[in-house]
Amino acid sequence: VWTAHWRSSSQWSHDVTVMGAFSEVVLAEEKGTQRLVAIKCIPKKALEGKENNIENEIAVLHRIKHPNIVSLEDIFESTSHLYLVMQLVSGGELFDRIVEKGFYTERDASQLIQQILDAVKYLHDMGIVHRDLKPENLLYYSMDEDSKIMISDFGLSKIEGSGSVMSTACGTPGYVAPEVLAQKPYSKAVDCWSIGVISYILLCGYPPFYDENDAKLFEQILKAEYEFDSPYWDDISDSAKDFICHMMEKDPMKRYTCEQALQHPWICGDTALDKNIHESVSAQIKKNFAKSKWKTAHCVHSALLSVHCLISVSFILVYSKRLMPQLLCAICGGCSWVRVWRGPPATNTLIYSHLYIFIQGSWECKTCKF
């Protein structure tokens, strides 16, 4: 599912519909309270043969309630779709916020990781393993400067059984733990490895493992081969490097747990440095992560032009001026936007006893029409 928050130096307004391979996400407002939420609209046809996956995701989301985890608020169902009403997070993705900052330090990274560790410890204490922790699944709750970070996307999460172990190979290349690639039974320690990889990237702007060839990438991960390259790591504290080494320990039995990680001086002490590393880190993030993001942006944009928004009886699509910040176009850098209406609301499209279809407008750059 594409999230409604992507940026290079821009961001779509939050009232657009964003469509992924299997579902759409739309912004909606509860009529009674005017509370904004995000509704994940999943066609039942896309779930054929994958019913267990969505049932597992819903079971996990029903069990969790944590300030740093995006919550499931309600579920609706029609003859053709399943609708998951999710807590709205509107602050954008992790990397985008870092790039936009003018000042960024080790301490900032430490505070981010502390929030992630606290949330994942909560999951692990509940017997839940996320299995797909990565920067794309870390979103800011709001546009506020001191906004908290939120963990999203529990599509690959797993509830551990009593005394059971997991063995399904899943996750995202680059963030997956060695034992998963080795097709060995694994545990919640795989999440700690992923947090180690995220920590590494937050401090230098590039991944610890990289190769265009997946086989070679996996070979690096299996050997846990990574370095703290000069000059990118010259100004990073030994404490930060020690933390990463404990999180990215090849042996899962020796790897830090979330509880141990929370007690590391880089997280709970005062060893994280306050030196500004923004220039180096943001430059590397742009170099190593921007290209795939821009390709994604074009795909999302083309999907937006023909999307219909499906809303349940309790919610209705809204256009909110207060959520439209001053943004720069990702293509031409322009800052003038025009509302493009894609068609009148359908008045005769009752497809379920309480379900209606609305056609929503979208934003277009005045300069390049993107």
- Classify residue 79 by burial, with Cβ atoms within 10 Å: 0-12, 13-18, 19+: exposed
In the chain, the domains with their CATH numbers are: 18-90+289-365 (3.30.200.20), 105-275 (1.10.510.10)
Percent over 70 (pLDDT), the chain = 69
3-state secondary structure of 283: helix
Residue 3 is predicted with a pLDDT of 29
Amino acid at the residue 84: L
Q: Is the pLDDT of residue 297 over 50?
A: no
| For residue 307, pLDDT beyond 50 | no
Q: In this model, does residue 298 exceed pLDDT 90? A: no
| Least confident range of 101-110, 258-267, 308-317 | 308-317
Beta partners for 138?
151
**pLDDT for 207 beyond 70:** yes
Instruction: Judge whether 242 and 266 are in contact, CB under 8 Å.
Output: yes
Whole-angstrom distance, CA of residue 237 vs CA of residue 178? 26
pLDDT band per the 50, 70, 90 thresholds, residue 315: very low
- Can you tell me the distance from the alpha carbon of 346 to that of 3, in angstroms, rounded to the nearest whole number? 26
* Residue 57, pLDDT above cutoff 60: yes
pLDDT in tens, 113-138: 999 999 999 999 999 999 899 999 99
Question: What pLDDT is attached to residue 183?
Answer: 85
pLDDT computed for residue 313 by the predictor: 29
Q: Is the pLDDT of residue 16 over 60?
A: no
Nearest residue to 192 via CA among 175, 207, 167:
175
Mean confidence (pLDDT) of the chain: 75
**359 pLDDT exceeds 80?**
no
Out of 108, 132, 153, 191, the active site residue is 132
pLDDT tier at 338, thresholds 50, 70, 90:
very low
Is 110 within 8 Å of 24 (Cβ atoms)? no
Q: Which amino acid is at 102?
A: G
Are 356 and 311 in contact, with CB atoms under 8 Å apart?
yes
- Give the C-alpha separation, 155 to 141, whole Å: 20
129 Cβ partners below 8 Å, 6+ apart?
123, 157, 158, 160, 166, 187, 188, 190, 191
The pLDDT of residue 60 is above 70? yes
The pLDDT of residue 289: 86
pLDDT digits (tens, 9 = 90+) for 149-178: 999 988 888 888 745 556 566 667 889 999
What the block records as the tokens of 79 is 């003859």
The larger pLDDT score, comparing residue 147 to residue 3, is at 147
Q: Evaluate if residue 199 carries a pLDDT over 90.
A: yes
In the predicted model, is pLDDT for residue 328 greater than 90?
no
Interval 62-92: pLDDT, tens: 999 999 999 999 998 888 888 999 999 999 9
Q: Residue 310: what pLDDT?
A: 29
Of the listed ranges 26-35, 254-263, 299-308, 328-337, the one predicted with least confidence: 299-308
| pTM, 2 dp | 0.74
- Find the range with the poorest average confidence among 13-17, 118-122, 243-247, 302-306: 302-306
Is 132 an active-site residue? yes
DSSP for 214-275 reads HHHHHHHHHHT-----TTTTTTS-HHHHHHHHHHT-SSTTTSPPHHHHHTSHHHHSS-S---
